Amino acid sequence: MIRSVLKVVKILNSETHPAQISLGLCFSVIVAFTPKFSLHNIVILFLILFFRINLSAFLLGGILFTGVGALLDPLFHRIGLAVLTAPALERLWTGFYNATMWRVQEFNNTVVMGSLLAALVLFAPLYLLFNAAIRHYRKNVYAHVQKLKIVQAIKGNDLYRKYQSLKDWGGLA
């Protein structure tokens, strides 16, 4: 548990742009809410690796949001059932199911459909929320913590300064 908290603090204090961290967390919501071995999750992983999205935030968010996704499965089932049984969309789902690529996606499963739709609807609001929270943390909380005497004492230590100089050379991460 302490390691998880330290990883969150390390991610938040990194020089990574808040948008990269927010996108990593938002993509982790999609992966955590939906079944793990889905084609769209593989596409998301390639997007994260192709665009400079924070992989640590993605992995940590995946761990954190998987439990939330499991708790919301009954809600996802109801959403998926409503969408899949809507008479107006019946031809669309039949066409998708008859195509092999869409059958592999398992969109005919109510939990898969409901969880993916819920994650996609939540993507933009969560991005804005995570981005604002990270900016607030960096502006207010982090600045306040840096002013604490214990933090300044640690930073004034010779060992810490040597570590920082090696880190800047790329010797330590």
Residue 173 CB: number of other CB atoms within 10 A? 4
Q: Cα angle at 154 between 150 and 158, to 5 degrees?
A: 150
Judged by DSSP in three states, 52 sits in: coil
pLDDT tens digit sequence for 46-56: 999 898 888 88
pTM, full prediction: 0.77
Cβ-contact 48, 55 below 8 angstroms: yes
Interatomic CA distance for residues 120 and 46, integer angstroms:
17
Instruction: Provide the 8-state DSSP code for 92.
Output: H
Residue-wise pLDDT tens digits, 88-145:
998 988 888 888 777 777 777 889 899 999 999 999 999 999 999 999 988 888 777 7
